[in-house]
């Protein structure tokens, strides 16, 4: 018996381009509707993907009224995610929302309660979890090959000066702490879900200032988990980064009692070492699958993997992760990081959650 395809609605057609491509390459999805305030971009996307122009609308209400849409993929600017998630849920749609899930916690309780009340599935689109080297690292770690995890180090450095051309990037609403660091911070919480405290520093670089950024673009943080394990995250966004041969923009290092491993964004590398063995694995043969639009600027392959996973979860009745609770604690951690930079002292995630009536998201004993 063939399953009915899931109807995909895409909101925000910049990065949304990747999920359109993912939907069109899947036999489990049907791209049913596209929405953006920018009608010219809507026409461009329909032409690019050979879609009937009538699938495009500038009205979110029209997209939500469309019975052919089962799931909405949200790719609007960060500060609009909360409102858009809530509107989709209230219209009875499942949601995949890109990172950062939310850009602060002001509506987190409402998002969590609405997701629970409607029973609709919400998944945070943490794309990097679905990138081949990081997925391999996770699976390798799960076999116990690296032993007991001792510490995690992650970073995301990128020359994102081009991003400043987007109007919202130069407003008070845009913060690299959420927009960029949500990738390595998610790695940290993937391996150490019980991070309880953070310290760190940030600054706005000269290039960021000249480019019109309102908030900092240079970060170093250290974390402590309830288990006593420690971790660190760094990021910079407004200047050249070191050559790919030497470094990979985004990386996640696990150090365990039996071995260490490193997942690297470029060139789709995964390297590991134990006392007895070591190897460098590459997934370069998947380059064309992951990066479909030339260069390395879009994430279509990751989105392909996560919509297939989301479809599996819907079919099996399982909860896709990161779910809203996990996503909200990661946002709380990013808010704690922001506060640590402002106060110059350590900040507890639990204290941040408590201020928003969200303390039920961490275990009572922490
Ligand atoms: N790896 C990843 O997962 C990844 C990568 C890049 C961007 N993103 C995320 O995707 C989101 C969008 O980023 P982007 O780079 O595409 O930005 P963008 O500015 O290029 O695109 C956002 C689009 O949303 C549209 N829009 C704004 N408000 C709207 C509204 N109320 N209704 C309908 N459309 C609206 C804009 O017209 C624009 O076309 C951000 O949250 C960003 O963090 C995720």
- Ligand 1 centroid – CA 14 distance (Å): 5
pLDDT at 249 (0 to 100) = 95
Tell me what the mean pLDDT of segment 71-84 comes to. Answer: 98
Nearest alpha carbon, ligand 1 atom 1: 127
Q: What would the 3-class secondary structure string for 174-214 be? A: CCHHHHCCHHHHHHHHHHCCCEEEEEEEEECCHHHHHHCCC
Distances in Å between the alpha carbon of 181 and those of 9, 50, 63, 104? 27, 35, 31, 14
Which atom of ligand 1 is least distant from the CA of 178?
A: 43
CA 35/CA 59 separation, integer angstroms: 7
Mean pLDDT lowest for which of 1-10, 205-214, 335-344? 1-10
Distance of CA 331 to the CA centre of its chain: 11
Same fold, 6-127 and 129-284+321-355: no
pLDDT at 247 (0 to 100) = 86
> Does the pLDDT of residue 1 top 70, yes or no?
no
Q: State both tokens at 254.
A: 């696990």
- Ligand 1 centroid – CA 13 distance (Å): 7
- Ligand 1 centroid – CA 74 distance (Å): 8
Q: Is 77 left (phi over 0), alpha (psi -120 to 50) or beta?
A: beta
Residue located via tokens 């995964």? 270
Q: Ligand 1, from 12, 58, 131, 249: best to mutate by most atoms within 8 Å of Cβ?
A: 12
- Ligand 1 centroid – CA 15 distance (Å): 6
- Ligand 1 centroid – CA 164 distance (Å): 13
Strand arrangement of the beta sheet that strand 149-157 belongs to: 278-282, 269-274, 259-264, 250-256, 149-157, 230-236, 218-225, 195-203, 347-348
DSSP H helix total and E strand total for the chain: 13, 15
Q: Is 73 left (phi over 0), alpha (psi -120 to 50) or beta?
A: beta
> Does the pLDDT of residue 243 top 60, yes or no?
yes
CA 98/CA 126 separation, integer angstroms: 7
Tell me what the mean pLDDT of segment 63-82 comes to. Answer: 98
Q: Is 179 in the pocket of ligand 1 (CB under 6 A)?
A: yes
Nearest alpha carbon, ligand 1 atom 23: 12
CA 232/CA 247 separation, integer angstroms: 17
> Does the pLDDT of residue 366 top 50, yes or no?
no
Q: Is 14 in the pocket of ligand 1 (CB under 6 A)?
A: yes
- Ligand 1 centroid – CA 186 distance (Å): 19
Output b/e per residue, 112-144; b: 16+ Cβ within 10 A: bebbeebebbbbbbbbbbbbbbbbbbbebbeee
Query: Cβ neighbours of residue 196 under 8 Å, at least 6 residues apart?
Result: 224, 225, 226, 348, 349, 350, 362, 366
Tell me what the mean pLDDT of segment 257-277 comes to. Answer: 97
Cross-strand partners of 57: 35
Q: Is 18 in the pocket of ligand 1 (CB under 6 A)?
A: no
CA 366/CA 362 separation, integer angstroms: 7
Fold of 129-284+321-355: Dihydrodipicolinate Reductase; domain 2 (3.30.360)
- Ligand 1 centroid – CA 363 distance (Å): 34
Q: Ligand 1, from 19, 46, 76, 301: best to mutate by most atoms within 8 Å of Cβ?
A: 76
Which atom of ligand 1 is least distant from the CA of 84?
A: 31
CA 68/CA 56 separation, integer angstroms: 13
What mean pLDDT, rounded, does the chain reach? 96
Instruction: Tell which residue, 72, 91, 1, 90, has the closest CA to residue 31.
Output: 72
- Ligand 1 centroid – CA 171 distance (Å): 14
- Reported as a pLDDT band with limits 50, 70 and 90, residue 296 is confident
User: How many residues does this entry show for the chain?
Assistant: 366
Q: Domain limits of the chain?
A: 6-127, 129-284+321-355
Angle at 276 between CA 271 and CA 278, to 5 degrees: 15
Q: Before 100, cis peptide (omega within 30)?
A: yes
Question: What is the crossing angle of helices 39-49 and 16-24, to 10°?
Answer: 30
pLDDT at 365 (0 to 100) = 42
Q: pLDDT of 160-186, one tens digit each?
A: 999 999 999 999 999 999 999 999 999
Q: Is 127 in the pocket of ligand 1 (CB under 6 A)?
A: yes
Q: Is 10 in the pocket of ligand 1 (CB under 6 A)?
A: no
Residue located via tokens 């030497």? 246
Domain 6-127 superfamily per CATH: NAD(P)-binding Rossmann-like Domain (3.40.50.720)
Which atom of ligand 1 is least distant from the CA of 298?
A: 5
CA 210/CA 128 separation, integer angstroms: 30
- Ligand 1 centroid – CA 76 distance (Å): 4
């Amino acid at each position: 018996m063939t399953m009915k395809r899931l109807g995909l609605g895409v909101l925000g057609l910049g990065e949304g381009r990747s999920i359109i491509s993912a939907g069109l390459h899947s036999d489990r999805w049907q791209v049913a509707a596209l929405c953006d305030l920018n009608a010219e971009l809507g026409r461009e996307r329909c032409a690019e993907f050979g879609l009937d122009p009538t699938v495009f609308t500038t009205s979110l209400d029209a997209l939500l009224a469309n019975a052919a849409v089962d799931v909405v993929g949200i790719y609007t600017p960060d500060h609009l995610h909360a409102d858009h998630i809530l509107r989709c849920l209230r219209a009875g749609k499942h949601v995949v929302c890109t990172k950062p899930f939310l850009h602060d916690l002001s509506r987190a309780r409402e998002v969590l309660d609405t997701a629970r009340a409607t029973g609709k599935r919400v998944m945070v689109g943490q794309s990097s979890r679905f990138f081949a080297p990081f997925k391999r690292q996770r699976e390798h770690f799960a076999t116990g090959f690296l032993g007991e995890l001792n510490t995690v180090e992650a970073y995301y450095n990128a020359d994102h000066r081009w991003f400043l051309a987007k109007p919202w990037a130069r407003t008070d609403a845009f913060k690299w702490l959420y927009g960029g660091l949500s990738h390595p911070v998610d790695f940290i919480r993937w391996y150490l879900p019980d991070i309880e405290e953070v310290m760190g520093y940030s600054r706005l670089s000269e290039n960021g200032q000249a480019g019109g950024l309102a908030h900092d673009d240079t970060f170093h943080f250290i974390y402590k988990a309830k288990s006593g394990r420690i971790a660190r995250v760094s990021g910079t966004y407004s200047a050249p980064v070191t050559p790919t041969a030497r470094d990979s923009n985004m990386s996640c290092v696990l150090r365990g009692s039996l071995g260490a491993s490193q997942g690297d964004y470029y060139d789709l590398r995964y390297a590991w070492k134990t006392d007895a063995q070591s190897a460098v694995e590459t997934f370069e043969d998947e380059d064309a699958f992951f990066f479909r639009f030339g260069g390395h600027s879009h994430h279509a392959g990751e989105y392909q993997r996560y919509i297939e996973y989301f479809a599996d979860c819907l079919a099996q009745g399982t909860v896709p992760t990161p779910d809203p609770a996990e996503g909200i604690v990661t946002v709380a951690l990013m808010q704690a990081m922001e506060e640590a930079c402002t106060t110059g002292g350590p900040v507890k995630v639990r204290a941040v959650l408590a201020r928003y009536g969200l303390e039920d998201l961490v275990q009572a004993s922490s």
